[in-house]
Amino acid sequence: MNSSLKHMLRVVFVFFVLTIIYTVILGTVNSRAQNKNDRRVKQTVQVKKEKPVVEQIDWRKSSESKPYPDWTSHPNAWVRVSLKTQRVYIMDGQRQLYKMYASTGSGGSNATPTGTYHIQAERGTFFYNAESGEGARNWVSWKDHGIYLFHSVPTDQANHIIKSQADKLGKSAVSHGCVRLSLPDSKWMYDTIPEGTKVVIDND
């Protein structure tokens, strides 16, 4: 075999080896790139935000599943009403004991006044206001002796719940200035909250 043929065979062999090496390297690089892309896709999927949980508000039920606070265990408890969140908070110092869904005044002449007040002596199981065409159950006065109240979602003159208004509880400020509560929450307020209890109403 002459030298030129040997040289040609060497060139072909080297080319063949380099081709194999290149193919292996290219396959490894592509595999790594694919794995990296797969991880990025997985990470992207994991980063997607979950939809916020919408609170299910039922004016027929207590706002929380846990028991109402035992007032005798919290003699310094007070009530905070947030116009911003449409919630009533039973507080002990800075500790929240219970949260209630509420609907406060719609604004203007029907606004719920902000400030610090105290539970007054007046309370009752039912009232009806012919001028507004609405009444309520389980009312407790906190300002102007029977004018501004905590009470249930509204009723008609026959003490039937006005469902179209009750369904807005915790969602919209639609009252005439009072603070509306669910049926069980208003009953607990009527039965439990003592005269003189501090009530703070704010826009926070």
Q: Examine the residue annotation and report whether 7 is marked as an active-site residue of this protein.
A: no
Residue 106 phi/psi, 5° resolution? Answer: -80, -10
Give 33's contacts (C-beta < 8 A, 6+ positions apart).
none
Of 72, 74, 69, nearest to 98 by C-alpha is 69
195 in helix, strand or coil?
coil
Q: Examine the residue annotation and report whether 118 is marked as an active-site residue of this protein.
A: no
Exactly one of 7, 74, 145, 151 is catalytic; which is it?
151
Q: How far apart are the first and last CA of the chain?
A: 98
- CA Rg, the chain, in Å? 35
Q: Which residues have a catalytic role annotated?
A: 151, 178
